Structures are given as structure tokens and as C-alpha cells.
Structure 1
Amino acid sequence: MAEILAQVARIEGLAMITIRAGLARAGDALAEAIGLAIPDRTGITTDGTRSLGWMSPDELLLILPEADRDEALQLLEQALAGEHALVADMSDARAVFDVTGPHADDVIAKLSPVDLAHLAPGTLRRSRAAQTAAAFWRIPGGLRVIGFRSTADYLGLILSEAARPGTGLAPR
């Protein structure tokens, strides 16, 4: 039996908070509250345990350990007091997978119409994986993929199938 192209693992224990606000006005207050720099367009910043991803011109996604969620929600609400803004706990609406190994890019390439050669570290890409919405970015040793929890079983299945040699595109 041929070796798989990459390991696919579902990641538990993460909280995800959507932040919608005028980033030009509220960016400094958000950065101070979160302790992470506001990412550039299509970027993601991280300190190793928490990440802040650019989702649209007025939307960020904060990913952090579940244990830190309540404090982060409180700090974000305080930082955005008086702003036209939304802070929403989206933890139960998302599923996270890590695709790691020497051919992690090939696994994603089988499923997504993205030129991964141009997906630089610190860049977040919103796209699709087969027939479901997904966002992904580089992590040490591979890529992290976020999708909707309602399609988590499907996303896990297609990632695992794409990791098998002989399905779809061959490794580069």
C-alpha cells in the first residue's frame, strides 16, 4: 500500500470569534485588546497560540484556545464600545483540520482552485474545498483548513481521500 501524501487531523479545543467593525477606525483598539497586529488584506497574524485572520474589509476571525474565549470576548466588547461593530462567538459553527506532511499542498490542490505556489506564509485564502467553503493558511509543516461545522464530516472525508495517492492529481 502506498504511503499517504499528508496527515489529516481534526483540531479540537479552539474558539473562533468573528469581529466585524470599521478596521480603519477600530484597528488600534482591537490590536491592543487582542495582542496581535491587525493583518493586512488576505493576511493572518499569529503569536503561536492565537491567530487573527483577515476575512473581508470589515471582518476579522480570531482563533484562540477555547479556555481564552470568554476573556477575549469581554476585551473585544470593551475595545469596540461605542463603535458600530459585532463580536460573535463562532466556535460552534466552524471545524478545523490540519493537513501536514511533504505533500500537504498537493492534497489541497486536488480540492481547491488556488495557486498554492503563491500562498505565502502569513497569507489566508478563502476559497472552497470541493463543494464546501473553506479558508486555509500555512502552518509549520503544512496547512490549516477551516470550514463550516455543518460540512465537517464531508470536509474531513474529502481531505482524507485527497491525501490518498492515486486520487486526482499526482504529487508535484
Structure 2
Amino acid sequence: MSNLVSALNGASAQGFAQVRDMGLQGMITLRGDLGAAKLKKAVKAAAGGDMPTAGHISLSDNGGAAWMSPDELLILVPYADVDAKLAEIGTGMGDAHHLAVNVSDARCMFAVSGDDALVREALAKLMPVDTSASAFKVGQFRRSRMAQVPAAIWMAEAGEARIVCFRSVAQYVFDLLKGATAPGSEVRYHAK
């Protein structure tokens, strides 16, 4: 039996901010009527938090749910719990129209941490997103492009951003983030 490893097996880099592979992360794509009571209840049971509003992520101690589109959420759970959470969602949804798929091994997650303004600057170098503290607050969630690939980002807290991308482009995204945080490349656009 092979050992399970994340896309970059815990890689990290230190520049003016730290970039690190977040390891194995359970991720479930859930599609359906986001206004339906059954779906809201299933999300709360699986992710442990409230249903996110458009453009936001709702986090709890055990996971979270991110708004991806008007009929899609990304459910974050511990990697080892994905199968059980899929079963919970299926039971909770019953015969209500929905799609729940384990996408854990098709995605990866990175963190960029350090000085809040510099973390935001690193993201702004790579994405067409206003990452200023006034426009991109903790709990907001954005899907966009990071250079040439799709990515999703959120501020987990002041000074720490999380990035989700496809596993197939993990090395590319890691190298982009490493370059964006290279020592001496600070622009200090977001500095107060």
C-alpha cells in the first residue's frame, strides 16, 4: 500500500512571507439548490458551520464551506473524514437533487503567511483581485486566475491567505507564490 502525500509533500519557502503546502485536505464539491433547507442542514452537519453567503467562506473547528457559484459549494473537512461526510450529505439530502463529489485528490491547498500587507501584495502580483484590506476581508472568498491557472483564495486571518488550485498545477502555483514573495521584491503597495 502506498503512503498518501499531498501534492508537494509539505514543501515550504521563506521570502518576505512564508509559502507552504497545507498537506492533505478533504474537499467535497456540493452542487444543488443552495437555498434548500435540506442542503443547508447537510452543509452544517458536514462542515460544522453556517451556510456561506455569496463570495464568502464559513469556517468552523472541523471544516468549512465556501461559496463557489450560485449552485455550488466547496466543503472542507479533514482528509480522513471525506467518505463519512459524503455519506452524511447523501443521507441528509435524501432524494433531493444534488451532486456531492470527493475532489480531495484533484485539489491542493497552500498558505501564504506573514505581514498582512505583504501577504496581500503577493496575491495582488498574481491575481486580478483587489486584495486590499478594505476590499478583501477575512471570510471573503474569491475564484479567479493565478497567472495562467484557476485558483480560489481567502484570508484565513489577518496575515494568512489560503489558496486552492488543481493538484496538476501545484508545482506551478508554488513557484508563482515563491516568486511573488521573493526577498527584495516587495512593492509595499498595501503598506499603511
TM-score when normalising by structure 1: 0.92
Which runs of no fewer than 5 residues in structure 2 stay unpaired? 1-13
- Deviation of the 1:16 alpha carbon: 0.4
Q: 1:66 aligns with which of 70, 73, 79?
A: 79
Q: Which has the higher contact order (CA 8 A, sep 6+)?
A: 1
**Equivalent residue pairs, number:** 169
Question: Alpha carbon RMSD of aligned pairs, Å?
Answer: 1.5
Paired residue for 2:103? Answer: 90
1:112 aligns with 2:97: no
Structure 2 CA distance, aligned partners of 1:32 and 1:158?
34
Amino acid at match of 1:107: A
SS of alignment partner, residue 54 of structure 2: coil
Structure 2 CA distance for aligned equivalents of residues 15 and 143 of structure 1: 18
Of 25-34 and 119-128, deviating more is 25-34
| TM-score, length basis structure 2 | 0.83
Structure 1 residues without counterparts, runs of 5 or longer = none
Give, in whole Å, the separation in 2 of the partners of 1:79 and 1:40.
21
Indicate the SS of the match to 2:169. helix
1:29 maps to what in 2? 41
Q: Is the 8 A contact 1:5 1:107 kept in 2?
A: no
Give the letter aligned to residue 125 of structure 1: R
Contact residue 123 and residue 138 of structure 1 kept, 8 A: yes
Asked if structure 2 preserves the Cα contact closer than 8 Å seen for 1:27 and 1:38, the reply is no
SS at match of 1:41: coil
Taking the aligned partners of 1:122 and 1:12, their CA distance within structure 2 comes to 21
* Cα shift at 1:51: 1.4
Q: Deviations over 1:38-79 (max 9, x none)?
A: 100011001134111000011000111112212111101111
Deviation, structure 1 residue 166: 4.3
Residue 50 of structure 1: aligned partner: 63
Q: Provide the identity percentage.
A: 36
